[in-house]
Chains A and B, each alone.
Chain A
């Protein structure tokens, strides 16, 4: 069982927007700004798409946006494209000094 809770799978159609949630506690997601989202295509290394809740690293698509409310962080992907089909993981620093991951969400674009 992962420390952060994400839906196991989601699906959307091209052009739609979807939001993936990541729920933790006040000791991790709710207690600091260090929430990261990564995208992983099959057989590839993960890639950071958002850090510090809502910041995009250089090269990341502006179709990815992030937010946080209480102990839940959210990743929104707008204008879904076939290339967005991948696994998405959230991660958060925790008060204990370690880093927690979600179990991952498999996004299917149908």
Chain B
């Protein structure tokens, strides 16, 4: 069974930082790109970042470029999202996903 478990969310002040993690199991981790997506309350899914199979190529949405960094550790079957310069409008549920599965999400709240 594909399992993706996110952690690391929480309440942070504007300008602060968080590091999200997503631990994967139940599939061959290195076969898949890994993505982060976010969803604000009552809104749709918005793609944030992705990392290729071995972590050598990453892409980020324009609205997080320069603030967020995605990476992966294939030895630990884990993908990360380092978030800096957080803004109020970054508040959302953050999910990691791959072609064959989604996590349950971790909530990020940016507020003073």
Q: Which residues of A contact B (CB under 8 A)?
A: 2, 34, 36, 38, 40, 45-48, 51-52, 57-59, 89, 91, 93, 96-101, 103-104
Q: Are B99 and A36 in contact (CB under 8 A)?
A: yes
Q: Give the bracket for the number of chain B residues in contact with chain A.
A: 20 to 34
Instruction: For the complex of A and B, list the 5 residue pairs with the smallest distance between their C-beta atoms, beginning with the closest.
Output: A51-B99, A99-B47, A97-B59, A104-B44, A45-B104
B89 interfacial by beta-carbon distance below 8 Å: no
B binding-site residues for A, Cβ under 8 Å: 1-2, 33, 35, 37, 44-47, 50, 57, 59, 61, 95, 97, 99-105
Chain A residues within 8 Å of B95, by CB: 45-46
A97/B103 in contact, CB under 8 A: no
Chain B residues with CB below 8 A from A104, complex form: 44-45
Partner among A57, A89, A97 whose Cβ is within 8 Å of the Cβ of B44: A89
Complex Cα spacing A87 to B105, Å? 17
Q: Can you name 26 A-B residue pairings with CB atoms under 8 Å? A: A34-B99, A36-B99, A38-B102, A45-B102, A45-B104, A46-B45, A46-B95, A47-B102, A48-B97, A48-B99, A48-B101, A48-B102, A51-B99, A51-B100, A52-B99, A57-B2, A97-B50, A97-B57, A98-B47, A98-B59, A98-B61, A100-B47, A101-B44, A101-B46, A101-B47, A104-B45
Interface contacts beyond A46-B102, A57-B2, A98-B50: sample of 13 additional A-B pairs, CB < 8 Å, sorted by A: A36-B99, A45-B95, A45-B102, A46-B97, A48-B100, A48-B102, A51-B100, A52-B99, A57-B100, A96-B59, A99-B37, A101-B44, A101-B47
Task: Write the chain B residue with the least CB distance to A103.
Answer: B44
> In the complex the two chains form, is B45's CB within 8 Å of A101's CB?
yes
Kindly list chain B residues whose C-beta atoms are within 8 Å of the C-beta of A97.
50, 57, 59
